[in-house]
Structure 1
Amino acid sequence: MTAQRQQRNWSGPKPPFRRAIAVITLAALLLPPPGALAATTQRIIANRYSGLAIDGFDPVSYFVDGQALIGDADFEAAQAGVVWRFRNEGNRASFLAHPEVYGPQFGGYDPTDVARGITVPGNPRLFAVVDERLFLFSREESRDAFKADPARYLPRAEARWPALEQELPE
């Protein structure tokens, strides 16, 4: 074989391999780290028609902005079987790095009701951030009672949540 032919045959991977390498590299860059996918194990409330978690509100905005803000369809991420929306790429990246911090506790169900042994979906507009965790509530009275004395509700809610979560429909 001539040197020129050897050069042509050994100049690197063939085009199909180059495409495969490009796809694998792109996937590695776009997918969140493996730990991020497993970090949120709670079943999250999602709109059954759109698949959006917490009605499309940005879960990071509760912490950063101190208010419930709607996310943008340009900044979405699939995590824990639902689609999350964010206001910007920074919020999206923060959530994907730490979904266990930014995601609503008890899957978005009202913690005062979970403490009573029932699951009532929380309203993303009725929220509290307590001990750096997001809680959503079904009623203002529940939110106010919880904020006044979280220690009264959290131990019971945490004890009852595993059994309640198993009973949720898929």
Structure 2
Amino acid sequence: MKALMGLLLLFVSGTVLAGDAIYTGFFSNKALDGYDTVAYFTEGKPVKGDSAYITEYKGADWYFSSKQNRELFVKNPDKYTPQYGGFCAWAVAAKNDRAPGDPLQWTIVKDSDNTPKLYLNYDKKIKQRWEQDISGFITMGDKNWPALLVN
């Protein structure tokens, strides 16, 4: 029975992930597992959001550590939304697939316009792979991501 439930969960989970623009996990609607996406840019570290400061964007609930951070996000959500919707950047690039992004395994990279972008990775080991060729993985990820949005 456990094996059957595991297979069912795997099938349903893959179906739920297909086409989602923002990674929220299987049993939650929280983007970045409730971490404040603006804080990565303003404080240079992950900061847990507070349930008093929430907004909805692209079907996900975004939590913030302050009213000011929530207002910054609402004014320009694309500036603060993690690339590839918070899915693992390495998986999107190297495997042309989706995997959960861990808000504690993150990198901010400036693009060609000197605009900082937030990328998440699955875990510490995958982040180390990502760090071996960040610019190459971003090039591949940017190419792969649009098709992953519709599949």
Q: Distance in 2 between matches of 1:69 and 1:109?
A: 18
Give the number of equivalent residue pairs. Answer: 126
TM-score by length of 1: 0.69
Q: Which moved more, 1:141-150 or 1:58-67?
A: 141-150
TM-score (norm 2): 0.77
Q: 1:98 deviation in Å?
A: 1.3
The one-letter code matched in structure 2 to 1:55 is D
| 163 and 129 in structure 1: CA distance in 2 versus 1, 3 angstrom threshold | same
Matches within 5 A, 1:30-109: 43-109=21-87
Match of 1:163 among 142, 147, 150: 147
| Partner Cα distance (1:113, 1:50) in 2 | 21
**Larger Rg over CA atoms:** 1
RMSD: 1.5
What one-letter code is carried by the residue in structure 2 that aligns with 1:54? L
Identity of aligned residues (%): 29
> Does 1:121 pair with 2:105?
no
**Unmatched runs of 5 consecutive residues or more in structure 1:** 1-41
How far apart, in 2, do the equivalents of 1:80 and 1:109 lie? 14
- Do the aligned residues in 2 keep the contact of 1:44 with 1:53 (CA within 8 Å)? yes
Is the contact made by 1:109 and 1:119 (CA closer than 8 Å) also made in structure 2? yes
Cα distance, 1:139 vs structure 2: 2.1
User: Is the 1:57–1:86 Cα contact (8 Å) retained in structure 2?
Assistant: yes
Matched, 1:143 2:121: no
Could you list the per-position Cα deviations for residues 62-119 of structure 1 after superposition, in whole angstroms to 9, with x for gaps in the alignment? 1111111110000010111111000001100111111111111001111111112111
Distance (whole Å) between structure 1 residues aligned to residue 25 and residue 137 of structure 2: 26
- Contact between 2:25 and 2:100, CA under 8 Å: does it hold in 1? no
Q: Which amino acid aligns with 2:133?
A: D
**Higher relative contact order (Cα pairs below 8 Å, separated by 6+ residues):** 2
Q: 1:114 to 1:47 in 2, by over 3 A?
A: closer
Counterpart-to-counterpart distance in 1, 2:149 and 2:84: 8
Q: Quote the Cα distance in structure 2 between the aligned partners of 1:147 and 1:99.
A: 26
Q: CA deviation at 1:148?
A: 4.3
- TM superposition shift of 1:140: 1.5
Decide whether aligned partners of structure 1 residues 158 and 134 sit closer, same or farther in structure 2, where only a CA change above 3 A counts.
same
Unpaired runs of 5+ residues, structure 2, are: 1-19, 111-115
